[in-house]
Amino acid sequence: MSDLAYLTIAEAAELLRAKKLSPVEYAKALIDRVEKHDKKLNAFIRFTPDKALDDAKRAEAEIVRGEWRGPLHGVPYALKDIVDYAGLPTTAHSKILKDNVAASDAVVTQKLRAAGGVFMGKLSTHEFATGGPCFDLPWPPARNPWNREHFTGGSSSGSGAATAAGFVPAAIGTDTGGSIRNPATMCGVVGMKGTYGLVSRRGVVPLAFSLDHVGPLTRTVRDNALMLDLIAGHDALDPGSVNIACGAYTAELGAGVKGLRIGVIRHFYTRDMEGDAEMVAGIEAGLKVLSGLGAKVQEVQTAPLGEYAACNRTILASEAYAIHEKWLQERPQDYASLTRERFLSGAFVRAADYINATRVRLKMTNAFHALFSDVDVIVTASAMDPACRIDDAEELDRTYARQARAPFNVTGSPALSVPIGFSRAGLPLGMQIVGKPFSEALIYRVAHAYEQATPWGEKHPSLGN
């Protein structure tokens, strides 16, 4: 069971297509693992073993008939519970949507079902994808598989936990200020926020319309690229969707980094905000690996981290309040206290502040994109600290904002978090690789070269008995 739990999508696809592994056998192994261990981690809000077995049986019958749908055919996956799956509740981890049953699939769900994926269930999130881990909600918060007393990162908390724990090889998360890359960093997995508009958000509970992204969390870079291949594409009914040729994200994985120009934004984690010494050392070691593989590493400068953070915060608060205003007026008691506090802050953002933030955003975005005339990709911090304890409210509040992910929601740039080792306490460390718009294939190329040169992907948490 442990061996099947940590199969990559690419490995599983090879075995399944060759009929050396049964989709039903695979699904049963992961179902058993979830049933045995998730009571300690709370990764799932709604576990759906019956649906998984139905999907697995259908996938097996198709494979027997020679009907191969691609690398996800017969492979388990799960969805953050703000993503619609027809006939199941989409709760957003909130009492407010406790009985909200989805009438149809989100676009991303449609694509994963069409690819033959085996649906395992809906995953924990922070309430409405904001706030933080709360203990005054109908469901408990997800916990970190590397140490269950510690935070998973969020808001795609269950997606990070389930992937790291070997419950599923892939999960879907969302990212408005870093919510795919945060749990990827904290849980030691790979998380991609693609270019704004690359993946449809239709059928996903919104947090902030102009900042929201949907993307995959996986245990390897190749798997992440395979997942993005499946879910990317234009959706005429999503106003933010971009009509651009996309896909083939695995095509450059083996090309290496020799001759590539890699910029590093050090001032984010050394001057603008002083990162934890172990996190900083991990990033610098990662840069040495890339340099040793033949990349040319050079320092680059952009706007101070605080300016990006203020811009993101102003836009997010305004747009989130616009979405939640009616419920905040009619059902304020049904939010967790932390979520309510976060959303109510948007009521005090003036229209002038919002407009000015959008103007500043455009200038910052253009200036940031101009950096790519001199470099191919950029490396910087994701989180400034390893995961803190989940029951330490003061430390959670302090460290949650200590991050360099929000700048790339402001700019809409593709950004990926990749594992870079562990702290002395055994908690994962991660760094970001960022590119110009629609350069996901190049980001994956750099991340894959780093991953192949380091041992971190071979390590998995011990969940005990």
Instruction: Point out the residues that are catalytic.
Output: 80, 155, 179
The total of other beta-carbon atoms located within 10 Å of residue 304's CB is 15
Place of tokens 């994962």: 428
Q: Considering only CA atoms, which of 164, 2, 171 is closest in space to residue 77?
A: 171
Look up tokens 């270019």; give the residue: 195
In order, the DSSP letters of 172-228 are EEEESSSTTHHHHHHHT-EEEE-STTSB--TTB--S-TTT-EEEEEESSHHHHHHHH
Strands 213-218 and 170-175: antiparallel
SS3 of residue 132 by DSSP: coil
Element spanning 122, H or E: strand 118-123
CA dihedral 59, 64, 67, 68 (to 10 degrees): 70
Per DSSP, the chain holds a count of helices (H) and strands (E) of: 16, 11
**Distance separating the N- and C-terminal Cα atoms of the chain:** 13
Pick the closest to residue 148 from 64, 226, 45, 43 (CA basis).
43
* β-strands 261-264, 296-299 pairing: parallel
CA distance 444 to 190: 10
Scanning the structure block, which residue is given the tokens 């909130």? 94
CA dihedral 437→443→445→448, nearest 10 degrees, is -160
Tokens matching residue 21: 């592994």
